């Protein structure tokens, strides 16, 4: 199978990365090369194989639901690109 | 006493404990050398002023019970350091100053170490040559215009060039072991779950592990002992009794069964690597180990599996970089346009390529064909190792299929770049510990490494085998300091 330009643009939309036509064409070539390489997996019959979902064979631990850090508003807002005193600021969402 | 910066961690620690050197002397020696080594481009951010202050503070009231008493250490710029810029080699985190500390780096400071600065790496650890970094490529001290490997390329170059006594890197598909191999240094990727992932900028969460990068195996055991710990803050951290790696380090590997997998004999592998591997096998025999031929039949499927699993996880992990809460933002007319412009301008080409692959394999209609298929093949790869480890205690392979290549040589061909990790990727997929040690040189005098792979949580065993082999190999890096400026 091969990935066409329309698909590349669709994926870029899903990934929220804007790309121009030149970049999209370059990516189309790269992705097709990479997927050609990935297709090798189809040589294997995996009908009766269980998917490996976690390499660490443990179950997730439970912990008490308690507040451990307080008054961290300032720390959280410290790196925001645009802020006012209490909030992250983004372009207007509701018209 | 030899020059301070060429000393091993073990020597520096002994000299501090015996009061032959102060932390300030050591710290200043590394800083002076770094000032003359800008050509290598290993540092993204330095912490020199604060480091000198901290070394003076250490000397005024030294705690000599620490495992890293007043030892200055630079770390890969993928570890969040409280109050010190952390970029992950990306424009999108160019201005990010964490307000918290990664567990692994906290373990260093808790044992007396001092932060020298943050080392260059491939953007979000995606690369095998350090050429994807927003902060430019790193020079390999082994030779001019040679890549130092990646993604922990600044780290491997810094250790090889004597700019830090030791360092820590991260390894998702070979990012510690491949650069170690390219620079004639030692690098260990621990078992998945050994070292906490808390505070490490995430790439592929089911594969990422932090690990030591050092001049020799003993230093590696000392550093692993400090960074490996159980951590409540990482849900995949495993609570088990860790060895006293440096105390239990031993060259006695008599009777150990070492497997040699036939599938690692790949096409077009240079003769020198074949020879290096043979030498390793005969050294292991000399040490009394038993050599056993084994098969890891799904080896050839590891890279295609990796290039589904890792980008899929990366595309999810990197969804957080949207220009809202931290990092770079490019303004837009509306929210969606802001996201798209931020991510388009903030990420480099390789990162975008991997996000695109990951988004595609997880998208509706393709999930079963790609992602689920890869998860199943990953199971088969893990089973190969389970079967092998029912017969052997460890596995010996080359670390990489070639020595370091020239800067720019592989940048236009992603697949040929990916092939660099052919011997290291299977170990991440199976969650196993692996170490690369310098084992010889090719015809250009560039270093080559051997990899020892162990059972889960059996770091002590691969350290001991490496320690025994290191002694027999007696590798000398003879780096000429060609980059030094006055």
Encode pLDDT of B112-139 as tens digits: 999 999 999 999 999 999 999 999 999 9
In the structure encoding, which two tokens stand for residue B227, read together? 């960074």
pLDDT band at B168 (very low <50, low <70, confident <90, very high): very high
Query: pLDDT value at position A62?
Result: 86
Res. A92 pLDDT band, cuts 50 70 90: confident
Q: What is the pLDDT of residue A60?
A: 81
**Contacts (Cβ under 8 Å, ≥6 apart) of A69:** none
Asked whether the predicted pLDDT for residue A86 surpasses 90, the reply is: no
Joined tokens for residue B14: 């002994």
Determine the Cα–Cα distance for residues A18 and A32; give it in Å rounded to an integer. 20
Please say if the pLDDT value at position A68 is more than 80: yes
Q: What residues of B are annotated to the active site?
A: 76, 151, 175
Helix (H, G, I), strand (E, B) or coil at B77: coil
SS3 string, B236-300, reads CCCCCCCCCCCCCCCCCCCCCEEEEEHHHCCCCCCHHHHHHHHHHHHHHHHCCCEEEEECCCCHH
Decide: B149 and B131 in contact? Cβ < 8 Å: no
Stretch A31-60: mean pLDDT: 90
B204-207 long-range CB contacts below 8 Å, 24 or more apart? B204/B172, B204/B309, B204/B310, B204/B311, B204/B313, B204/B314, B204/B317, B205/B236, B205/B313, B205/B317, B206/A54, B206/A55, B206/B309, B206/B313, B207/B172, B207/B173, B207/B306, B207/B309, B207/B310, B207/B313, B207/B428, B207/B429
Q: How far is the C-alpha of B30 from the C-alpha of B28, rounded, in Å?
A: 5
Interchain proximity A30–B360, CB inside 8 Å: no
Nearest CB to A52 within list B355, B363, B382:
B382
Residue B1: which pLDDT band, with cuts at 50, 70 and 90? low
What percent of chain A has pLDDT above 70? 97
Residue B151 preceded by cis peptide, ω within 30: yes
pLDDT at A82: 82
Instruction: Judge contact between B206 and B313, C-beta under 8 A.
Output: yes
Structure confidence at residue B356 (pLDDT):
97
Task: Determine the 3-state secondary structure of B386 from DSSP.
Answer: helix
Q: Is A68 on the interface with B (CB under 8 A)?
A: no
Cα B201 to Cα B480: distance, rounded to the nearest angstrom: 34
User: What does the alpha-carbon distance between residue B45 and residue B468 come to, in Å, rounded to a whole number?
Assistant: 37
φ/ψ of B395, rounded to 5, equals -125, 135
Q: How far apart are the first and last CA of chain B?
A: 24
Placement of tokens 């631990």 in the chain: A61
Averaged pLDDT, B14-37 = 98
pTM score, two decimals? 0.97
CA distance B56 to B22: 9
- Give the residue carrying structure tokens 């990790």: B421
CA B360 vs CA A34, B125, B307: distances in Å = 12, 21, 12
Task: Give the per-residue pLDDT at A70.
Answer: 82
Please report which confidence band the pLDDT of residue A1 belongs to, taking 50, 70 and 90 as the band edges: low
Dihedral sign for Cα atoms in the order B473, B474, B477, B480: negative
Closest Cα of chain B to A24: distance in Å? 11
* Assigned token pair, B321: 């970089």
The H or E element spanning position B449 is: strand B447-454
Chain B environment of A90 (Cβ under 8 Å): 324, 335, 338
Residue position matching structure tokens 């600044």: B154
Q: Is A49 on the interface with B (CB under 8 A)?
A: yes
Q: Which residue has the tokens 């001991």?
A: B464
Measured CA to CA, the distance from residue B447 to residue B476 in angstroms comes to 9
CA dihedral B461, B106, B6, B445 (to 10 degrees): 60
Rounded to 5 degrees, φ, ψ at B473 are: -70, -40
Q: What is the pLDDT of residues B329-383, one digit of tens each?
A: 999 999 999 999 999 999 999 999 999 999 999 998 999 999 999 999 999 999 9
Model confidence over B227-240: pLDDT tens digits?
A: 999 999 999 999 99
Q: Is A75 on the interface with B (CB under 8 A)?
A: yes
One DSSP character per residue, B102-165 reads -HHHHHHHHTT-EEEEEE--SGGG--SSSTT-TT-----TTSTTB---SSSHHHHHHHHTTSSS
CB-closest option in B99, B356, B429 to A12? B356
DSSP, collapsed to helix, strand or coil, labels residue B481 as: coil
Q: Which domains does chain B have, with CATH numbers?
A: 13-257+466-473 (3.90.1300.10)
Tell me which residue in B97, B377, B431 faces A46 most closely, judged by beta carbons: B377
Contact residues, chain B, for A65 at CB < 8 Å: none
Which residues in chain B have Cβ-Cβ distances shorter than 8 Å to A3? 360
């Amino acid at each position: 199978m091969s990935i066409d330009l329309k698909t590349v643009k669709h994926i870029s939309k899903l990934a929220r990365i804007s790309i121009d036509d030149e970049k999209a064409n370059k990516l189309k070539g790269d992705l097709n090369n990479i997927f050609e390489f990935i297709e090798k997996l189809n040589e294997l019959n995996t009908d009766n194989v269980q998917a490996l979902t976690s390499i660490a064979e443990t179950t997730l631990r439970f912990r008490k639901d308690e507040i451990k850090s307080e008054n961290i508003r300032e720390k959280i807002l410290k790196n925001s690109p645009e802020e006012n005193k209490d909030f992250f600021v983004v372009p207007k969402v509701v018209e | 006493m030899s020059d301070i910066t060429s000393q091993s961690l073990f020597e520096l620690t002994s000299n501090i404990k015996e009061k032959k050197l102060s932390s300030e002397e050591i710290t200043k020696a590394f800083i002076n050398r770094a000032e003359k080594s800008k050509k290598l481009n290993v540092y993204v951010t330095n912490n020199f002023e604060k480091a000198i202050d901290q070394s003076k503070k250490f000397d005024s009231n030294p705690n000599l019970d620490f495992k890293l008493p007043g030892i200055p250490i630079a770390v890969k710029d993928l570890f969040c350091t409280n109050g010190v810029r952390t970029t992950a080699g990306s424009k999108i985190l160019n201005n990010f100053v964490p307000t918290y500390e990664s567990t692994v780096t906290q373990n260093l400071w808790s044992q007396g170490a001092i932060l020298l600065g943050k080392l260059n790496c491939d953007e979000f650890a995606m690369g095998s040559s350090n050429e994807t970094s927003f902060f430019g490529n790193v020079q390999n001290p082994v030779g001019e215009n040679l890549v130092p490997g990646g993604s922990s390329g600044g780290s491997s170059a810094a250790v090889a060039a004597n700019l830090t006594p030791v360092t820590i890197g991260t390894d998702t598909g070979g990012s510690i072991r491949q650069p170690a191999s390219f620079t004639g240094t030692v690098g260990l990727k621990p078992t998945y779950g050994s070292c906490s992932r808390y505070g490490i900028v995430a790439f592929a969460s089911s594969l990422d592990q932090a690990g030591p990068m050092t001049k020799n195996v003993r230093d590696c055991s000392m550093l692993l002992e400090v960074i490996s710990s159980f951590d409540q803050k990482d849900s995949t951290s495993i609570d088990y009794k860790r060895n006293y790696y440096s105390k239990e380090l031993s060259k006695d590997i008599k009777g150990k069964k070492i497997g040699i997998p036939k599938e690692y004999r790949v096409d077009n592998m240079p003769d020198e690597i074949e020879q290096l591997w043979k030498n390793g096998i005969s050294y292991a025999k000399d040490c009394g180990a038993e050599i056993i031929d084994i098969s890891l039949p799904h080896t050839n499927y590891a890279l295609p599996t990796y290039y589904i699993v890792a980008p899929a996880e990366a595309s999810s992990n990197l969804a957080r970089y949207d220009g809202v809460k931290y990092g770079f933002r490019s303004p837009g007319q509306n929210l969606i346009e802001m996201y798209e412009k931020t991510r388009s301008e903030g990420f480099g080409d390789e990162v975008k390529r991997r996000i695109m692959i990951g988004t595609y394999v997880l998208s509706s209609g393709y999930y079963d064909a790609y992602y689920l298929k890869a998860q199943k093949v990953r199971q088969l790869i893990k089973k190969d190792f389970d079967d092998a480890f029912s017969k052997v205690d460890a596995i010996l392979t080359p670390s990489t299929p070639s020595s370091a290549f020239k800067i720019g040589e592989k940048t236009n061909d992603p697949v040929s770049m990916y092939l660099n990790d052919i011997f290291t990727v299977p170990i991440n997929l199976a969650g196993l510990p692996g170490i690369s040690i310098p084992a010889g040189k090719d015809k250009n005098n560039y270093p080559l490494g051997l990899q020892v792979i162990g059972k889960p949580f059996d770091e002590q065993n691969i350290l001991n085998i490496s320690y025994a082999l290191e002694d027999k190999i007696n590798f000398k890096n003879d780096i000429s300091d060609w980059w030094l400026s006055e």
